Structures are given as structure tokens and as C-alpha cells.
Amino acid sequence: MHDTSHPQAGTAAEYKGPRLRTSVARTAEALQNDYLHSTQHNKQARARAVLAQLRKYSAVRLEQHPVALEEVLLLLEPALSEQEMGKGAAPSASELAAFQALTMLGIHLQSASTEAHIKGQSFARACGRFYAHSQSQSTKPRFDAMLVSSDEASRLIHIRSLVTLLRGENLGFDYGAFAQDLRVLGSKNATQKAHTQRQGVLLKWARDFALGSYASSQTEPTS
């Protein structure tokens, strides 16, 4: 699935801090540009194949499919920092977040004609925008169920459902920021600080949903 060309040495290799947000954002941007805008057939075909594989990986458990993690890590450009890479038998929080974000991108870009990765637009705000214009009564309950999910598997099921809805309305969001939030939410750290950080992400998502809904409703034309 991955591109066999090697990344160029330079500032990315010298930077030692966290790279998750940048890695996912740049990878998402490159994939969607090749898929939506490339005039080179081979680049477009490769992007289409990569996105199709990412969609398949969205349904697997990494513990049972180590190749899926390998493929996603090889896809990232720039790569995660050494500190973000896992050291043991389980994926690190950053590895898992990158995997989850990019598999959602695969779903988001399926048969798409508009961009899924929109820099600066939060996931929750995009959901709020969808809710403001949607006739469906299930959007807010789905979002709320995602916020109060007690386990990661349930949360991801709701996120996948919401991403599918956003795709139908050509609404995108920032996949780099999304991955960063998923990392916090997926942390297995049991400290009070980690709990506070997880609750902070959920609070931010709740606020952004409301702001997205409010802002969109204010722009509706009046009769």
C-alpha cells in the first residue's frame, strides 16, 4: 500500500518532538490531492488503492492484523517521532490515533469529489454544521452517544457513522487535529491528569458542535 520512495533527510528527521498532528495532516493532504486533483493517472490510481485499503482496515483490530499498523506507519510522511512509536507488544497511543484517523479518511473520501481534510476545521464543528442543516433527528443523539461512550470501540463506531454523514454533505475537517484528539481520548493512562485531558477533549467537542450548529443556523437565508 505504501509508496516505496524514501523521505528526504532534513528538518523532519532532525525534529525530535511530537509529530502526530503534522504527520497525519500532511499524509491526508497528499492522499486527497492525488485522489481528487492529480492529473497523473498513476498517482490517482495509487491514492485510490491506498484509500480503499484504509477503508478495509477500519474494520480490523490491530492486535490481530499487525500488517495494518505497518502499512499505515509506512504511509505517514513525515513519520512519527521515536518517542511516539510503540516499544512493546501493543500499539502506542500515537500509532493508534494515526491508524484510526487515516482509516476514517479512507471512509470520508470514498467516491468523494470534495476535500475531506480541511485545515483548521474541527471534527465536532463540522458535525454541528451538518446538524444545523440536516432533516435527520438522529444526528445529535449520535453525537451525544459518541461523547458519553464508555469504551473506545463504541466511540469509534459512532465516529465512523458521523464521518459517513459528513461525507454525504461534503463537509470536511482537520485530520491532523482529529488525530491529536483521538490520541488523548485513546490514552490508557489512569492518572488524574490524563482523565482531565480526556474530559477536556470531550468538552471541546461538545462546545464546537454547538458553535458549528449556531454559526450555520445564522447563515441560513431568511424567507
pLDDT in tens, 38-73: 999 999 999 999 999 999 999 998 888 999 999 999
What DSSP line would sit under 39-89, residue for residue? --HHHHHHHHHHHHHHHHHTTS-GGG-HHHHHHHHHH-SSPPPGGGS--SS
Its pTM surpasses 0.75? yes
Determine what percent of the chain is predicted with pLDDT higher than 70: 89
Determine what percent of the chain is predicted with pLDDT higher than 90: 78
Asked if residue 4 has pLDDT above 60, the reply is: no
Domains within the chain, CATH numbers bracketed: 11-218 (1.10.520.40)
How far is it, in rounded angstroms, from Cα 12 to Cα 19?
9
Q: Which of 23-32, 142-151, 164-173, 208-217 shows the lowest mean pLDDT across its residues?
A: 208-217
Asked if residue 223 has pLDDT above 50, the reply is: no
- What pLDDT, on a 0 to 100 scale, did the predictor assign at position 103? 98
- What pLDDT, on a 0 to 100 scale, did the predictor assign at position 14? 53
Grid cell locating 32: 486527497
Binning pLDDT at 50, 70 and 90, where does residue 23 land? very high
What DSSP line would sit under 14-49, residue for residue? H--S--HHHHHHHHHHHHHHHHHT---HHHHHHHHH
107-164 pLDDT, tens digit each:
999 999 999 999 999 999 999 999 999 877 889 999 999 999 989 999 999 999 999 9
**How many other CB atoms are there within 10 angstroms of residue 206's CB atom?**
15
Asked if residue 219 has pLDDT above 70, the reply is: no
Q: Which of 5-9, 74-78, 138-142 shows the lowest mean pLDDT across its residues?
A: 5-9
Buried b (16+ CB within 10 A) or exposed e, 153-182: eebbebbbbbbebbbeeebbbbbbbbbbbb
